[in-house]
Amino acid sequence: MATAAACALLLAGCSLRLDDPALEMAQETGVTINFDAGSALLLNDAKQTKAAYYDDTSFGVFAFKQSGGNWSQLASKKWKPNFMFNQAVHHSSGVYTYAPTRFWPDPTVNKLTFWAYSPYDANADLLVSGGTANAYASNSIGLPDIRFTADGQTDLLYSDVEADQTSATNYGEVHFDFNHALALVDLKAEKVDENGLYEVTLKCLSFKGIYATGILKNSTTSPASPANPAWSWYSYSGSRQDLPVWEDDPDDDSDDVILSHGSSTMIAGVMPLPQDLTNDACWLHVEFEVSYHEDPLDPSSTLLSYSTSRNVYLRDVFYSAGSAWTMNSHYTVTLQISPDRPIQFTVSWDDWGAEHNYHLSS
């Protein structure tokens, strides 16, 4: 029917360009383009275990219409996001909605390739790929780079490229697999007090001297495989900043964290920009309060207390992990705090697993 309608238009003497909306409508199949990210967020490449996409969240979609070619021909065909450009798709309880509704083009004429990022931002800072400062637009070629500022609580995701899709692919539904662009750092703490002589109450944890803004760059302009571009961070900008991890509310005793000996307490998690940590400006800052009895053998004696702090180079904390945070990696740092010794620490890390796929601010 779509082809017949197009022929009728042409026979009627209409002179329509290939990008004319009337011809586009004439070529559409009437099959709605639907989206799904219900099995997104890879646990790791080996297990292929997945978790659900965040609820009540939107992602931005780009769709490239390919007239007579495949996505693998990007270098020569110079595909552009002229079908969808930063289209917001909202997810709520397994239902994905967007407006206006779009329909699949005639599969004998056009294929579509899709890419997405999350969370959606109407004012996302999109750049033409290849290290330029030029704004990415609907007539730009290939995928965009993204300049992003990490606040520690927002999980930036980018999808795999869903190439050469038609109305027959997955029954007209585009299935996105997302990947973590940031790192996740969980911090735990315990006190070192074999004889139970004092109490340690944590007051503050923060990273100091950290880059918050960088560009997530893709390799689609000259990749070995445009369908599987490499992504990396570069061009860090702005001054180095403090990234708060956790801070005690002095007016709320219920959030006090009193540390135990030999048993670590989960304090908080934060999602920083992946980066090198060897610079002298990069610190872990720890503040805590120490309480003890004037006579350690008499629990009824006067209770004394004082506040203190420690700074540790992040290159030392993460030395075993290469003194860096890398994309899609989950680090767990356990701090061992004593009032009269330097802070000790252990670090473990792995792929950012499905059990950690949550917004830390929720």
| Contact (Cβ atoms closer than 8 angstroms) between residue 55 and residue 118 | no
Is 177 a member of any domain? Answer: no
CA dist list (Å): 321 to 14, 183, 189, 284, 325:
65, 13, 19, 15, 8
Is 147 a member of any domain? Answer: no
**Cα distance from N-terminal residue to C-terminal residue, the chain:** 49
Residue 294 maps to which CATH number?
2.60.40
Is 88 a member of any domain? Answer: no
Is 94 a member of any domain? Answer: no
Q: Kindly report the average pLDDT of the chain as a whole number.
A: 85
Percent of the chain with pLDDT over 90: 64
Reading the block at residue 14, the tokens are: 């209409």
pLDDT digits (tens, 9 = 90+) for 97-132: 999 999 999 988 899 999 999 999 999 999 998 766
CA dist list (Å): 268 to 210, 333, 342:
18, 10, 21
- Whether the full predicted model's pTM is greater than 0.95, yes or no, is no
Task: Write down the pLDDT at residue 49.
Answer: 45
Reading the block at residue 82, the tokens are: 């002229």
Amino acid at position 332, single letter: T
Is 269 a member of any domain? Answer: yes
- Domain tally, the chain: 2
Mean pLDDT within 253-257: 84
Is 56 a member of any domain? Answer: no
Mean pLDDT within 89-93: 93
Q: Does position 50 have pLDDT exceeding 90, yes or no?
A: no
Is 175 a member of any domain? Answer: no
Range of the domain at 27: 1-32
For residue 243, count CB atoms less than 10 angstroms from its CB and return exposed for 0-12, middle for 13-18, buried for 19 or more: buried
Is 98 a member of any domain? Answer: no
Mean pLDDT within 251-278: 92
Task: Write down the pLDDT at residue 14.
Answer: 37
